[in-house]
Amino acid sequence: MKVFPDKLSAELEKRLPPVVIVAGDEPLIHMEACDAVRTATRDRGIEEREVLHVESGFAWGRLTESAASLSLFASSKLIELRLGSQNLGQDGAKALEHYANQLSHSDNVLLIASARLERKQQQSKWFKALDKAGIFVPVWPVDHQRLGFWIRDRAVRHGLSINMEAARLLGERTEGNLLAADQELQKLALLMPSGTQVDTDTIASGVEDSARYDVFTLADACLRGERERASRIIGGLRGEGVEAPIVLWALTRELRTLLSLYQHLDQGQSFEHACKSQKPPIFDKRRPAYQQALNRLPVKRLHKLLLFAQRLDLAIKGASPIPLWDGLHDLALTLAGGRGLLAESSFSYKVG
């Protein structure tokens, strides 16, 4: 049964399932979901807790042993299986499937803490067996378009009030790092009286930029036409020491995908079919961003941007005089619908 993090506490108040799988890559929400399970087990009188860290060479028999062994003072316990991003392998899959088959004979609670589970993993026998008996909590990062609302609601939990303009500014400075956003709110709550209205001046003067980005965030910003954000992300990636070839790979991949979509559309295929034909397929959640980019960028511009990307590849290899990071900035900016001067001046004709 799938339950999203914001509904988990309410679901656990109604029932304590024998298995809870918390999976995702957003640290703060992941941590709080696991804390909610721990709190629920304590409230039900389960005090004993055993933690199993799954690492390379992990002996999966330990899970069976843990489930079977109880102290003299407890009839049940919480078993935390911390998978992280570790691959289960055949032994792990069999052990979890076996555990699921023995649930009717146990009063224990199994909390599986994992990195994001791909669709293929969610179709496995072990996952389906555990999900049928318990709760699956998928943890997703907060979309930047909702980040201001998340911060506004989060501020209330800390006894603060924050207007949307200030919440958006804090979101810009902590994007991709919810833990930093929450820590800033905690700090403000310590410094300011309860119920204080937090404004943009307070955020601007007291909050350092601790946003964290990756090249996939950059690609999404470019596809959506978010020029200022794309520019900010490029600066953030450079400051974090991300290698230029990785940034170029991400942008070039999107250029090739958009050109492929155009090719399928020119053959009379529907946009939906064109998205499904990509390798890997473009899933429903990302399709609107590609549609926006297609509406904004004609084929000719995409071809010229791809040529500019090839020039940047030569710059990485030392065979072109183009300033590399300035060129990457212009490539991203132009892909997002702006005007990158280097991208345009690198050809004898104007891009567009």
Task: Give the SS3 label for residue 239.
Answer: helix
pLDDT of the residue at 348: 44
Please give the pLDDT value at position 72: 62
Fold classified for 5-139: Rossmann fold (3.40.50)
Q: Which segments of the chain are extended strands (E)? A: 19-24, 49-53, 78-84, 109-114, 135-139, 161-162, 197-198
Residue 106 is predicted with a pLDDT of: 80
From first CA to last CA, the distance across the chain in angstroms is 50
- Amino acid letter at 61? G
- Cβ contact 92:124 at 8 Å: no
Tokens of 222: 């470019």
What is the pLDDT averaged over residues 294-322? 92
pLDDT tens figures, 90-131? 999 999 999 998 887 788 999 999 999 988 899 999 999 999
Instruction: Report the topology of domain 215-345.
Output: Zinc Finger, Delta Prime; domain 3 (1.20.272)
Judged against a pLDDT cut of 60, whether residue 346 lies above it is answered with: no
Q: Which of 31-40, 165-174, 321-330 has the highest mean pLDDT?
A: 31-40
The answer to pTM > 0.75 is no
- Residue 345 is predicted with a pLDDT of 58
Q: What fold does the segment set 144-206 form as a domain? A: Helicase, Ruva Protein; domain 3 (1.10.8)
Is 245 or 204 the better-scoring residue by pLDDT?
Answer: 245
Which tokens go with 178? 């919810």
Predicted pLDDT of residue 349: 38
For the cut 70, the answer to whether the pLDDT of residue 352 exceeds it is: no
Question: What average pLDDT does this structure show over 297-322?
Answer: 92
Q: Same fold for the domain at 144-206 and the one at 215-345?
A: no
Q: Residue 227: what pLDDT?
A: 93
Q: What is the pLDDT of residue 68?
A: 84
Q: What ranges do the domains of the chain cover?
A: 5-139, 144-206, 215-345
